[in-house]
């Protein structure tokens, strides 16, 4: 069994739960890609831990946070985000993209 085979049940579970319709967001499906530059992977489930989705940002979060004086628990960029579902991963990635746009002055009002 490949890692992709073992991730398939996790993908089905993640698509069957956690709807993200609303707020102008299109429906997230198994083929919905993350924004350009983002990389993702799903951990291999174990007997005690279910599979979990992760994504890494295309920018250096530490450098950007430091350049804006963001430290500690402040609303800051994260290099790697995670979620229990694919839809959830899309949601936290979207939050990071919005924060990145705000910090870079490219946010839309």
Taking 60 as the threshold, does the pLDDT of residue 7 lie above it? no
pTM over 0.75, yes/no:
no
Strand, coil or helix: 54? strand
Q: Considering only CA atoms, which of 95, 26, 14 is closest in space to residue 61? A: 95
Taking 50 as the threshold, does the pLDDT of residue 105 lie above it? yes
**pLDDT average, residue stretch 96-101:** 96
Whether 64 contacts 77, CB under 8 Å: yes
């Amino acid at each position: 069994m490949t890692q992709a085979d073992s991730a398939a049940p996790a993908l089905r579970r993640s698509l069957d739960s956690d709807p993200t319709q609303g707020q102008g967001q299109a429906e997230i499906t198994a083929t919905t890609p993350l924004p350009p530059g983002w990389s993702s992977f799903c951990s291999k489930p174990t007997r005690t831990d279910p599979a979990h989705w992760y994504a890494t940002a295309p920018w250096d979060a530490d450098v950007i946070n430091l350049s804006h004086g963001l430290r500690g628990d402040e609303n800051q960029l994260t290099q790697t985000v995670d979620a229990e579902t694919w839809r959830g991963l899309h949601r936290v990635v979207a939050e990071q993209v919005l924060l990145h746009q705000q910090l870079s002055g490219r946010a839309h009002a």
